[in-house]
Structures are given as structure tokens and as C-alpha cells.
Amino acid sequence: MSYDYFVEHKKQFEAIPLHHRNQFLREILKTPQLKGEPLISPMPYPNEASFNYLNYQLNYHYSEPSSSPQAILVFMHGLYSYGGNSGYLATNITSAIPGVNFYSLDFINFGKSTGDCRGYIHSFDWLVQQG
């Protein structure tokens, strides 16, 4: 998805009431490829850090172009993925929409976060507790 696509829809996005913006983002993210570009292509995050939680070290990725953001987007990755896969999305959204910072966490057992067993989910309740 290109930067131009988000810029083109910026005014439309800003006109949407805050409580309806998630639906708008879902709609544009399922839009087919534009101008021969891949919908999601590899792009690293500008920043990466980690913190300790319980007995684990959790890694997170972020793009913070705004020192006083008006909105913070937190991306929750799916199964068999990790937060770092959303770098392209983070870069395009934060470039196109001023005042937005984007964060993505690697859950326990995923990405660069530590854990008992790579990709293992103890239970659905355990997964919800992490979010």
C-alpha cells in the first residue's frame, strides 16, 4: 500500500468520527494491490526495544514521529507472526497521518521476545491476558 494512497484518503479519514475509524482502516487494508506494489512488503521498523514482564523479555517495535501524538495505534500480530512484520504498515500510516505513533509487540514465544517454546500459545485466556 503506497504512501500516496494514505495521503489521498487523509481528509476522508480525518472526517470520520474517532469511534468509526477502525472500520475505515479495515476497509483500506483489504484493498487489492495498487500500481503493482505488494500489499505488504518487508520494511523494518525505525526503532526497536524491549522490557521485562514476569520472567520474560518482551520485544517491541515502534515508529514515533510525533513527540505529542494525537493517536497511538497498537498492532497485535496474528498466530505464527510477530510484531516486526508490520513495519511497512507502521511507516505508511505514521507518514500519512500526522500525530500518529505506531507500536507493535512481539508476544511471549514470538519474534524476538523470550518464552518457553517458539510460537506456543498456552491457552486462549493466556493469549488474551497478554493483549
Q: List, edge to edge, every strand of the sheet that includes 56-63.
A: 47-53, 56-63, 100-105, 71-76
| Cα 56 to Cα 43: distance, rounded to the nearest angstrom | 26
pTM of the model as a whole: 0.63
Q: Which of 23, 24, 18 is nearest to 6 (CA)?
A: 24
CA distance 55 to 44: 27
Per-residue pLDDT tens digits for 74-121: 988 877 778 888 888 888 888 888 899 999 988 888 888 898 888 877
Q: How many domains does the chain divide into?
A: 1
User: What is the pLDDT confidence band of residue 19, given thresholds at 50, 70 and 90?
Assistant: low
Domain that holds residue 86: 3-130
Mean local confidence (pLDDT), 30-39: 50
For residue 61, pLDDT over 60 is answered with: yes
Mapped onto helix, strand or coil, the DSSP state of residue 94 is helix
| Percent of the chain at pLDDT exceeding 70 | 69
pLDDT range class, residue 33, cuts 50, 70, 90? very low
Distance CA 118, CA 120 (A): 6
Residue 76's DSSP bridge partners are 105
Give, in order, the Cα–Cα distances in Å from 93 to each of 16, 27, 47, 106, 123. Answer: 16, 14, 15, 19, 32
The predicted pLDDT at position 82 comes to 80
